[in-house]
Amino acid sequence: MLGLKIKTAKNKSSYAVTIAKDFSAFTDKILPFISGEKVAVITDSVVNEIYPDVFSDCLKNKIVCKYVVSSGEESKNTDTFAALLNKLAEDGFTREDTIITFGGGVVGDLGGFVAATYMRGVNLISVPTTLLSMADSSVGGKTAININKGKNLCGAFYPPKAVYINVGFLKTLPHTEMLNGYGEMLKYTFLSDFDFDGETVDESAIYECLKIKAAIVAKDEREKGIRKLLNLGHTVGHAIEKLSGFKLPHGICVAKGIDYALKISEKYFGYGDGRRKEYEKKAEKLCIDCDCGYSAESLFETIVSDKKRFGSGIDVILINTNGKAEIVRMKLDLLREYL
Instruction: Evaluate the CA torsion angle 156, 159, 161, 166 in order and state its sign.
Output: positive
Number of residues near ligand ADP (by CB under 6 A) = 21
CB of 220 to ligand ADP, least distance (A): 23
Contact letters (x/-) for ligand ADP, 164-193, by CB under 6 A?
-----x--xx---x--x-------------
Distance CA 322, CA 100 (A): 42
Distance CA 335, CA 301 (A): 11
Asked if 105 touches ligand ADP (CB under 6 A), the answer is yes
Among candidate residues 76, 211, 238, 256, the one labeled active-site is: 238
Distance CA 127, CA 43 (A): 10
Catalytic site residue 223? yes
DSSP state of 197: -
In angstroms, what CA-CA distances link 250 with 31, 257, 283? 32, 10, 15
In angstroms, what CA-CA distances link 157 with 73, 113, 154, 217, 253? 20, 9, 11, 11, 24
Choose between 111 and 159: whose C-beta lies nearer to ligand ADP. 111
Catalytic site residue 142? yes
Distance CA 59, CA 71 (A): 24
Binders of ligand ADP among residues 50 to 89 (CB under 6 A) are: 50, 71-73
Choose between 106 and 125: whose C-beta lies nearer to ligand ADP. 106
Query: Judged by CB under 6 A, which of 123, 133, 166, 265 binds ligand ADP?
Result: 133
Residues in contact with ligand ADP by the rule CB under 6 A: 44, 46-47, 50, 71-73, 103-107, 129-130, 132-133, 169, 172-173, 177, 180
Could you give the residue numbers annotated as active site? 120, 142, 184, 213, 223, 227, 231, 234, 238, 250
